[in-house]
């Protein structure tokens, strides 16, 4: 079997597992880059049986010489690891192609996160009214940017004070709280600011029926500059702010926080709360 054919089967598997389009595109891009590297070396199509750890390590060294950072090379390694497990499980290979490869050491950088005052200043300085309300939604619910831009009008339940997220990361749906402050802001936006574009999406723009993540992040960056906030500000910063504030300043169980954020494990939630998985497990035992 050609390496390209195995990649195609892996992509089909990811689609059947309802992985997000962004995830599938990223996996496909990295695996095909690796395939082209091998084909240029061999000057011919490469078979799956010719791919092994030595070839992967050679490719990672090639990426290092090109200036790719450890974090990016580690991502390539993880993607190939997932592909290798798939091939072994489906009996496309006799063994796990990634077995024995040493993980790339990624330096841990101390990050600066937005505090409450900075979040408020950035939101106040967003000049696009739709992006402003959407960003407030991120800060008040902790939803992902992709979830916010896909939000439908029927997902808002003002009487019960909830927002339904139909398909989050990993195709997991959930319900998150709709605070009174956010309820007032969204209601005002829908009744007075929202442009009718024949779309059911909550957040629409003049030029299209929806907002792109790229555009939202651009508006957030410009607002941060106007607000004098030096820290890196993206849509994800507001999700992180929500999780950190909820974990530190409120009597909220960690399991509840995990459910609101749509995480698959406490280990992932620990990234947002600045706690270790063991600390969170211990705290969860007390709930």
Query: Residue 1: what pLDDT?
Result: 93
Residues in Cβ contact with 64 at an 8 Å cutoff, skipping those fewer than 6 apart: 73
119: closest CA among 137, 105, 143? 137
CATH code at position 61: 1.10.150.130
In a domain, 28, yes or no: yes
The pLDDT value given to residue 206:
78
Q: Residues 49, 149: one domain?
A: no
Question: Distances from the Cα of 106 to the Cαs of 18, 63, 207, 275, in angstroms?
Answer: 29, 15, 41, 19
Sign of the torsion formed by the C-alpha atoms of 59, 61, 65 and 69: positive
- DSSP three-state, residue 58: helix
Domain end (from 30, 54, 89)? 89
Three-state DSSP class for residue 116? helix
pTM (global) more than 0.75: no
Do 69 and 141 belong to one domain? Answer: no
Give me the number of domains the chain comprises: 2
113 neighbors 240 (Cβ within 8 angstroms): yes
Is residue 55 domain-resident?
A: yes
> What's the pLDDT score for residue 22?
81
Task: Note the pLDDT of residue 240.
Answer: 85
CATH number of domain containing 141:
1.10.443.10
Could you tell me if residue 241 is inside a domain? Answer: yes
Would residue 242 count as lying in a domain?
yes
Q: Are residues 127 and 236 in the same domain?
A: yes
Residue 172 has a pLDDT of 61
Contact indicator for 158, 187 with CB cutoff of 8 Å = yes
Evaluate whether residue 50 is within a structural domain: yes
Q: What is the DSSP letter of 286?
A: T
Domain shared by 149 and 244, yes or no: yes
Averages of pLDDT over each 10 residues, the chain, 287 residues: 95 89 90 96 94 91 92 91 94 89 76 88 96 94 89 93 74 78 94 84 82 93 96 91 74 60 58 50 43
Tell whether 159 and 230 lie within a shared domain. yes
| 40 and 146 housed in the same domain | no
* Ramachandran region, residue 198 (left: φ > 0; alpha: ψ -120 to 50; beta: rest): left
Same structural domain for residues 124 and 211? Answer: yes
| Phi, psi (degrees; rounded to nearest 5) at 240 | -65, -40
Structural domain range at position 195: 116-250
């Amino acid at each position: 079997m050609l390496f390209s054919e195995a990649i195609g089967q892996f992509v089909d598997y990811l689609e059947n597992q309802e992985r997000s389009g962004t995830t599938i595109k990223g996996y496909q891009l990295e695996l095909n880059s690796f395939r082209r590297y091998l084909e240029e070396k061999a000057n011919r199509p490469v078979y799956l049986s010719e791919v092994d750890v030595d070839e992967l390590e050679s490719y990672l060294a090639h990426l290092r010489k090109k200036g790719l950072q450890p974090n990016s090379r580690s991502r390539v390694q993880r993607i190939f690891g997932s592909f290798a497990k798939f091939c072994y499980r489906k009996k496309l290979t006799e063994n796990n192609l990634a077995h024995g490869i040493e993980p790339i050491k990624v330096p841990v950088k101390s990050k600066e996160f937005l505090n409450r005052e900075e979040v408020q200043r950035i939101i106040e300085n967003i000049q696009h009214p739709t992006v402003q309300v959407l960003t407030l939604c991120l800060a008040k619910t902790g939803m992902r940017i992709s979830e916010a831009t896909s939000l439908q009008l029927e997902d808002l339940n003002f009487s019960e004070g909830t927002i339904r997220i139909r398909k989050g990361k990993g195709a997991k749906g959930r319900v998150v709280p709709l605070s009174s402050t956010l309820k007032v802001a969204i209601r005002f936006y829908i009744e007075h600011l929202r442009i009718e574009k024949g779309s059911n999406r909550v957040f629409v723009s003049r030029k299209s029926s929806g907002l792109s993540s790229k555009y939202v992040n651009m508006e957030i960056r410009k607002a941060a500059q106007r607000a004098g906030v030096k820290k890196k500000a993206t849509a994800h910063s507001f999700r992180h702010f929500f999780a950190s504030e909820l974990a530190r300043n409120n009597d909220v169980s960690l399991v509840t926080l995990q459910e609101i954020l749509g995480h698959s494990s406490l280990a992932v939630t620990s990234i947002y709360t600045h706690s270790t998985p063991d600390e969170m497990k211990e705290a969860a035992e007390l709930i």
